[in-house]
Amino acid sequence: MVGATGIEPVTFPMSRAHSTAELRAHFAGACKARRALFKGKFWEVQDPRQRPRRKPWRPPDRSTYNPWFPAPYAAQPHPPVITPASLPTNPIEVLEPTRHSVPLVFASPHSGSFYPPEFVAASPLDLAMLRRSEDCYVDQLFSDAPSLGAPLVRALYPRAYLDVNREPYELDPEMFNDPLPAFANTTSVRVGAGLGTIPRIVATRREIYRTKLYFDEAERRIEGVYRPYHRALAGLIARAHEQFGFCILIDCHSMPSTGLPVTAVGDPRTIDMVLGDRTGLSCAPAVTDTVDAFLSQRHYRVTRNNPYAGGFTTQHYADPGNGTHVLQLEINRNLYVDEATLEPRPGFSVLKADIGALMARLVALAGEWGTALRPERLSAE
């Protein structure tokens, strides 16, 4: 405003009817009324001494809150978390021989049959349907390996829970609430088919989960199940190398009697065994030829690399040039198990005896193959 001395600072207009002290008292009363309004009692002002104390701070509930991701992820229901009490003490089992006396290692990655109760509860499928992807009793078919001097490693969790015959992070982004890390392989053929490290479907193409998962759950399974299996398998291969100079790994699987790809030779239901050596890249021909001839002599119909040429284990560990030979063996389930009830058929004992004889044949020939299967080391000149 303009006064006798020129421009003066502008202040709140004060009525001539109220003094400064009165305005201050009015302002203090308004503040108390505002605080009372937020307490839900606008008609009275509470005594501060009567106000209830604030509740002590509590950490957020991690089952419904994710501090790394904002809403809407935090607002979505979190799937059941599997508690340590429900887990086996070891996610794998290694059946060791008294002495590792032959350069052979056997692996059964898909015969695991421990289904955590929380995992089953989180699925719309019952246990019988979840087991459709299981390689039932394959570990039992090869259980004579330790008596022949070779170790057998087997996963205890089923492939519907986590598939150890995959890359560690073959994950489908559509299965997760939160973004996957950049290093995850989200574009592989197996992911596209719903059969990644954390499968989306079972063998009957039914969806496994009701709701989406969080990446921390996938990480927990990978660290708790996947990595122990591959540490054990890599250790057995390294031990065979150290003792014998080379290693033959037989990766043991089973396959459904129907629903095989149309590229299979002839009627898929007549295929008994499929040998997968990645068309000769993962294993010395002498090993594949021996297994093929032996099984054919036992009147099994055998095909090679069609429709199964080998999975992650065959691709990752095979290095024939450095003495690591990997052969995948797929067995038709109809030979030994009722695929509807998953009960063993009478032919189970016959097949087990034939598998035992095959392993004995490989043990007998391993010594003869030593020179041919050991890595060729060229000295520099």
CA 317 vs. chain centroid, Å, equals 19
* C-alpha closest to that of 276 among 229, 340, 329, 350: 329
Residue 380 scores a pLDDT above 50:
no
Taking the model in full, what pTM does it have?
0.75
pLDDT higher than 50, residue 136: yes
Query: Can you give the pLDDT at residue 210?
Result: 94
334 contact partners, CB below 8 Å, separation of at least 6: 257, 269
Six-digit token string for 94: 């290694």
**pLDDT at residue 72, as a whole number:** 36
DSSP 254: E
Q: Provide the CATH topology of domain 84-368.
A: Aminopeptidase (3.40.630)
The DSSP code sequence of 312-347 is: HHHHHH-BGGGTEEEEEEEEEGGGTB-TTT-PBPTH
Tokens 């284990």 -> residue:
313
Residues 321, 280 contacting (CB under 8 angstroms): no
298 backbone dihedrals φ, ψ, rounded to 5°: -90, 15
Cβ atoms of residues 282 and 320 within 8 Å: yes
Please enumerate in sequence order all residues whose Cβ is within 8 A of that of 106, keeping only pairs 6 or more positions apart, or say none. Answer: 142, 145, 150, 151, 152, 153, 249, 250, 252, 359
Q: Please, what is the average pLDDT of the chain?
A: 82
- The larger pLDDT score, comparing residue 21 to residue 177, is at 177
Length of the chain: 381
Six-digit token pair at 379? 């000295």
Pairing outcome for strands 2-3 and 6-7: antiparallel
Between CA 301 and CA 264 the distance in angstroms is: 12
**Would you list the domain boundaries of the chain?**
84-368
Ordered alpha helix ranges (H), 151-284: 189-192, 215-221, 227-244
pLDDT at 379 over 90: no
Q: Which of 340, 328, 325, 304 is nearest to 204 (CA)?
A: 340
pLDDT tens for 27-48 read 666 666 555 554 544 444 445 4
